[in-house]
Amino acid sequence: MQEYQPLINHIQNRIELSEEEIHQFVSEFKIKKIKKRQFIIQPDFVARHRTYIVKGALRAYVVNGQGQEHTISFAIEDWWISDYNSYIYQQPATMFVVALEDAVLLQLDFETETKLKNANPKFETFFRITAERTAAFFQRRIITNLTSSAEERYDNFIEKYPSIVQRVPQYTLASYLGMTTEFLSKIRNNKLKKKS
């Protein structure tokens, strides 16, 4: 049950559930342990699960026609990840989701989530809150990408997610911020020069 405690805390920070309801809810999640570089979602296969990260770091990305990777999102402890379009509509995925570190995950499949929502309006509320926060996050991300300079995007990310910067390869961070690895290196070097 130790692996479930972070999820229990996560849920209790969002909705109020009885002990029985918590047990009913979290017992539907399956523990999955994966190795670094292991994929949990790949294009053309339906994303069957919504994934909560207990331990580790994951990355969701797409590959364009020229073979360039574009990082859509990262997820570390106490975050969720999936190809949501694929998961919600149960249609083939367009993204890869891969482990950047060995990870411990809790996964819930689509059919079980639907069953939970139908069983208790509080569970429905939890998933609504999660969806709203995810939508707000992606909106902020799009606006930042459209209205900020590359350096501002980097500064903003460093300020909000300092722990992620240390854990993800530089090329994945560069692709998340919409720049080349070389340009990201240049920004970092300029900042180091200013400090010294």
Q: Specify if 40 maps to a domain.
A: yes
- Whether 72 and 62 have beta carbons less than 8 Å apart is answered as yes
Q: Specify if 164 maps to a domain.
A: no
pLDDT in tens, 52-80: 999 999 999 999 999 999 999 999 999 99
Q: Specify if 155 maps to a domain.
A: no
CA distance 152 to 41: 31
pTM (whole model) above 0.85: yes
The predicted model gives 75-102 an average pLDDT of 97
Number of domains in the chain: 1
pLDDT, residue 191, reads 81
Q: Specify if 58 maps to a domain.
A: yes
Supply the mean pLDDT for the chain.
95
pLDDT in tens, 98-146: 999 999 999 999 999 999 999 999 999 999 999 999 999 999 999 999 9
Q: Give the model's confidence band at 154: pLDDT under 50 very low, under 70 low, under 90 confident, else very high.
A: very high
Q: Specify if 50 maps to a domain.
A: yes
Q: Specify if 178 maps to a domain.
A: no
Identify the domain containing residue 61 by its residue range. Answer: 2-119
Q: Is the alpha carbon torsion for 187, 192, 193, 195 positive or negative?
A: positive
CATH of the domain at 12: 2.60.120.10
Which amino acid, one-letter code, is at 10? H
Q: Specify if 148 maps to a domain.
A: no
Buried (b) or exposed (e) across 120-141, using 16+ Cβ within 10 A? eebbeebbeebeeebeeeeeeb
Tell me which residue of 131, 105, 127, 107 sits closest to 118, measured CA to CA. 127
Q: Specify if 158 maps to a domain.
A: no
